[in-house]
Chains A and B, each alone.
Chain A
Amino acid sequence: MSNEYDVESGDGVHKGRPVTVDRYTLSARINHWITAISLILLALSGMALFSPSLFFLTNLFGGGQWTRAIHPWIGVVLFFSFAGLFLRFWRANLWKAEDGTWLARIRDVLGGHEERLPEVGKYNAGQKFVFWGMSFLIIVLIGSGFVVWDQYFFAFTTIEQKRIAILVHALAAVAIICVWIIHVYAAIWVRGTIGAMTKGQVTGGWAWRHHRKWLRELVSKDKPGRTPAE
């Protein structure tokens, strides 16, 4: 592998005890949290209209009419916000040889036996699954969402197409909520992760344990002339 593995701009490593590693820039974090808040608001407003048992959630948005009106607009915000994340992160989420090995050893992943896993770059296969899953589902959701955004786009599709679109929208929404649960759970389970999206930094130990290839590359980048320690 060349030097350009999957270090993103703004990534950096600082000597010290412990070593600190810059993982996300301030703008990436703001971008992430706008997306996150949008996704949560969309899930709440969407589920309010999905099931009568959750209709009470419309109160969070000022009632049923407001929920109906605002949900698609939040979707538009999420789409553009996620597009920003996509442009930032897609390169580091490209599939690599070690991702297959990592995935084949998913038992060791879940068991926390990191020592039996291959060294991975900035993202492991699970994170890449979340990234591409979100990307795909957001495309499906915005596409089907426009078809059922009757206030502005009613005339462009037939009622039968709208029926299919709303079924697809509901199924994709369920899928993205499941992906979101995986995303949030992984961040909680793997201790030291959340700081990456709040402070922007992780410890060197965290990077060594979970994303060693990325850490090695960062270190080698900091010391020109030295080859990666492989």
Chain B
Amino acid sequence: MFPPAPNPPVAPVAPKYGQQDLIRRSASTIAPPAQTQTPVAKLIDVSKCIGCKACQAACLEWNNLHEEIGTFNGTYTNPPDLTPASFTLMRFTEWTNPETQNLEWLIRKDGCMHCADPGCLKACPAPGAIVQYSNGIVDFDHDKCIGCGYCVKGCPFNIPRISQVDNKAYKCTLCSDRVAVGQWPACAKACPTQAIAFGTKDDMTKWADGRIKDLKSRGYANAGLYDPPGVGGTHVMYVLQHANTPEIYAGLPKNPTISPVVEIWKGMTKYVGFAAIGLAAAAGVLHHLVAGPNKVSKEDEENAEKLTGSDPR
């Protein structure tokens, strides 16, 4: 068993990281931090999940969220999708293994993956509304969020949700406030089977290796770790029984990357756009300097007077 989640300290603890530990800040250029925090990760072992939704409840409670009462839609997945109030969601998939003909109940805890190369942050136009700490946590600063939804377009995992109430984007914070004082995220703390574990990324990768060996010994030949390199790796990782086909876990993308459309929009378009506008303006100034103003001459006026039969001068 992995060491259990620590209990909260009795005495107040100073946060372990803050604004001085940012490695990326949306729509801003920042100096690299003096010290680098140890990268952290949350490991979600899908094979150990029993679908109790304690993580979902803990998330709502810790973040003081109030999900609307929905309607039953025929599955255990409830609410049916992530919302501004549901940062995490158990997605239930009934999957028949074609090799064994066994029904497998795949339960994936969906939520922000905390990409090392976050598409949301790249797309965000508001300075400082999305930040990335040197420990890997990607967090939204709601005071600076303008509600444009660009993060939704930037995200390769379809995670951020814009609130219709305050027009701000919401997603899992990896409980950055809890982690700052040495606590595990609320979901990990609440998980009764340690399907959710938390620690340094190295420790989590090592722990996952042991789990994968165990799963392989039990016949899950394709068991593996989901830490997609297309987004530079993630700080939320999955142990999957069938890591060769992540799509079967409610559409987990096989090789997520920031969409090339977003890369072009946020990259080349800006330079080409400003160059075009600048050239157009410069061409105008230059033309005026070379050609001079196009003035109506006295003859033009006289011709018009003649044409209209105005009184001769």
Contact = CB atoms under 8 A, between A and B. Distances in A.
A205 B259 contact: no
A205 B284 contact: no
For B28, B167, B270, B296, the residue with the greatest tally of chain A CB atoms inside 10 Å of its CB is B296
A18 B304 contact: yes
Nearest to B310: A15
Given A16-B310, A52-B127, A55-B27, 15 more contacts: A15-B308, A19-B310, A64-B146, A110-B287, A110-B291, A148-B149, A150-B149, A150-B162, A151-B167, A154-B149, A154-B162, A162-B153, A191-B293, A205-B300, A208-B307
B153 A203 contact: no
A170 B125 CA distance: 13
Nearest to A19: B304
Nearest to B152: A159
Interface stretch (A28-36, A85-93, A97-105, A173-181): A173-181
B309 interface: yes
Contact of B308 (A13, A51, A174): A13
B216 to A, nearest CB: 35
Contacts of A65: 146-147, 167
A203 B295 CA distance: 12
A151 B148 CA distance: 9
Contacts, number: 173
Contacts of A151: 147, 162, 164, 167
B148 A160 contact: no
Interface residues of B, number: 55
B167 A192 contact: no
B265 interface: yes
Interface string A170-198: 11011101100110010011111000000
Contacts of B294: 112, 114, 189-191
Contact of A69 (B167, B276, B288, B307): B167
A171 B270 CA distance: 9
B293 A189 contact: yes
A148 B148 CA distance: 9
A185 B109 CA distance: 58
Given A55-B127, A150-B152, A159-B158, A167 B300 contact: no
A151 B147 CA distance: 9
A69 B294 CA distance: 42
Given A65-B167, A204-B305, A17 B313 contact: yes
Contact of B296 (A110, A163, A166, A205): A205
Interface residues of A, number: 61
B305 A18 contact: yes
A49 B28 CA distance: 13
Contacts of A148: 149, 153
Nearest to B148: A68
Interface string A38-58: 000000000011111001001
For B149, B262, B281, B288, the residue with the greatest tally of chain A CB atoms inside 10 Å of its CB is B149
B277 A209 contact: no
A208 B300 contact: yes
A49 B125 CA distance: 6
Interface string B135-147: 0000000001111
B68 interface: no
A224 interface: no
B273 interface: yes
A130 B274 CA distance: 20
Contacts of A203: 296, 301, 304
Nearest to B299: A205
B292 to A, nearest CB: 7
Nearest to A208: B304
Given A65-B167, A148-B149, A166-B153, A215 B307 contact: yes
For A189, A190, A207, the residue with the greatest tally of chain B CB atoms inside 10 Å of its CB is A189
